């Protein structure tokens, strides 16, 4: 579907980013993806905003990938949305029977009437013909928002009382059960997750996003609103990107806390790089990703571009690898996703066995957590992050949730895995509790 394009030069990209979110806050369908100026060579833009859905696809896991493939072909346009973890049930003989208080649809994509992209000092408007006469008006409104300035991020509407779905002793027992499976040879790695939640709580989703993004500044930040449901994400991880014939995945495995002292912080980086347990976690998942990509890639094209490189973020240090491959020009984008979903960094290995075991031990249906959010282009390219370090909010149910997890391998100890979860939860908890 043809879109009208207009480009404006802007002086202050950061002010415009803030203004775009304020301008869009009343829209019922919003997708905002922000790289936070993170220096990486695999990004197509600095930030993108999509609003005002013309059409949408919302479904459960039954034949979800077939329906999405048909929807993409029918629209032939940009699509923004998400894939929940529980779409695994469409791909394998699996189930998701755990507790779910959020109630997000298992798949949701919409075709926006309005897309605005920020690239350096250029603001590009991509509007469908039915609304392209609004481009100048909208740009003027965004400029007015920028002149007024960012809304103050002072207090939330209430201070949520955060609860843990799995308490410490029970967590230790569940990790010991996973270690039993590993030592018995059922699996050799599993990503085990737990939920933190608050009930009867009202938050301001946009202000919550602004606070989380300000203290995390991740390369795959997301603010998504679908009427009364919100995703507020500070994800540092890319699940999968396709651009032309190249496909690329960047799994994260290996985490260390940050230190306020520069010398100590450097020591933590060096220690993470030497940590045999963390490196083995990463290498296992790299092997899994290589195998997944090889199912759809041209034979011999899959290779590891980076292995176990340490990247530093505001809250944590992370060990990230980059795996890439090449697909034939006529490969359907959904076939690539089917071959690789859910991402290995959030499941374990072997993947199907790990998913069965963690379903038995986890207390909460993962839903959007450890799924993916992103977009498809009209040409069939796509880019999706991994939904981690994220707050989920159902405003109608007044329910707030965030989950964290860690990779359990033979070298894991319940105590260390529990502490790693607390490190990952720190930023989200601080934002919600207003510390």
Distance (Å, rounded) from C-alpha 152 to C-alpha 174?
Answer: 42
> Considering Cα of 8, then 9, then 11, then 16, what sign does the dihedral take?
positive
Q: Which helix (H) or strand (E) holds 215?
A: helix 205-216
Contacts with 172 (C-beta within 8 Å, 6 or more apart), sequence order: 414, 415, 418
For β-strands 107-119 and 122-128, DSSP reports them as antiparallel
List active site positions.
Answer: 237, 253
Nearest residue to 247 via CA among 292, 308, 194: 292
CA–CA distance, 31 with 213 (Å, rounded to integer):
15
Taking residue 95's Cβ as centre, other Cβ atoms within 10 Å add up to 12
Rounded Cα distance between 280 and 278, Å, is 5
Cis peptide before 350 (omega within 30 of 0): yes
With CA atoms as reference, report the closest residue to 423 among 314, 333, 276, 270. 314
Tokens standing for 352? 């199907």
Q: How is 367-435 classified by DSSP, letter by letter?
A: TTTTSEEEEE-TTS-EEEE---SEEEEETTTTEEEEEEEEEE-TT--HHHHHHHHHHHHHHHHHHHHT-
Q: Tell me which DSSP letter residue 218 carries.
A: -
Under DSSP, is residue 184 helix (H, G, I), strand (E, B) or coil?
helix
**Which residue, 276, 258, 237, is CA-closest to 412?**
276
DSSP letter, residue 295: T
> What are 31's strand-pairing partners?
50, 224
């Amino acid at each position: 579907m043809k879109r009208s394009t207009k480009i404006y030069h802007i002086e202050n990209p950061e002010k415009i980013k803030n203004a775009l979110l304020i301008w869009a806050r009343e829209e019922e369908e919003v997708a905002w993806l922000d790289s936070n100026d993170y220096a990486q060579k695999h990004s197509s833009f600095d930030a993108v905003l999509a609003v005002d859905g013309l059409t949408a696809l919302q479904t459960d896991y039954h034949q979800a990938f077939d329906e999405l493939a048909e929807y993409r072909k029918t629209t032939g346009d940009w699509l923004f949305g998400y894939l929940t973890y529980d779409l695994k049930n469409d791909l394998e003989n699996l189930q998701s029977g755990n507790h779910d208080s959020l109630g997000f649809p298992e798949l949701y994509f919409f075709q926006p009437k309005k897309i605005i992209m920020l690239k350096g000092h250029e603001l590009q408007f991509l509007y469908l013909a039915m609304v392209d006469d609004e481009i100048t008006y909208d740009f003027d409104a965004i400029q007015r928002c920028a002149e007024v300035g960012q809304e103050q991020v002072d207090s939330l509407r209430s201070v949520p009382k955060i609860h843990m779905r799995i308490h410490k002793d029970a967590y230790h027992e569940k990790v010991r059960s996973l270690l039993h499976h590993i030592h018995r040879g059922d699996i050799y790695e599993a990503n085990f997750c737990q939920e933190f939640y608050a009930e009867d709580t009202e938050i301001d989703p946009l202000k919550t996003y602004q606070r989380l993004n300000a203290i995390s500044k991740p390369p795959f930040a997301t603010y998504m609103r679908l009427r009364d449901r919100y995703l507020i994400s500070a994800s540092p991880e890319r699940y999968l990107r396709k651009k032309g014939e190249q496909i690329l995945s960047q799994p994260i495995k290996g985490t260390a806390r940050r230190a306020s002292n520069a010398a100590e912080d450097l020591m933590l980086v060096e220690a993470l790089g030497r940590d045999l347990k963390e490196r083995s976690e990463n290498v296992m998942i790299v092997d899994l990703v290589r195998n997944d990509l090889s199912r759809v890639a041209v034979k011999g094209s899959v290779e590891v571009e980076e292995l176990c490189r340490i990247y530093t973020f505001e809250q944590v240090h992370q060990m990230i690898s980059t795996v890439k491959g090449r697909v034939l020009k006529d490969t359907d984008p959904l076939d690539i996703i089917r071959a690789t979903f859910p991402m290995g960094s959030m499941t374990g290995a072997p993947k199907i066995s790990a998913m069965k075991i963690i379903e038995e031990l986890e207390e909460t249906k993962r839903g959007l957590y450890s799924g993916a959010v992103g977009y498809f282009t009209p040409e069939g390219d796509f880019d999706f992050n991994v939904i981690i370090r994220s707050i989920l909010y159902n405003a109608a149910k007044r329910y707030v949730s965030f989950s964290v997890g860690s990779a359990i391998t033979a070298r894991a100890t319940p105590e260390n895995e529990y502490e790693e979860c607390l490190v990952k939860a720190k930023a989200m908890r601080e934002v919600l509790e207003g510390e």
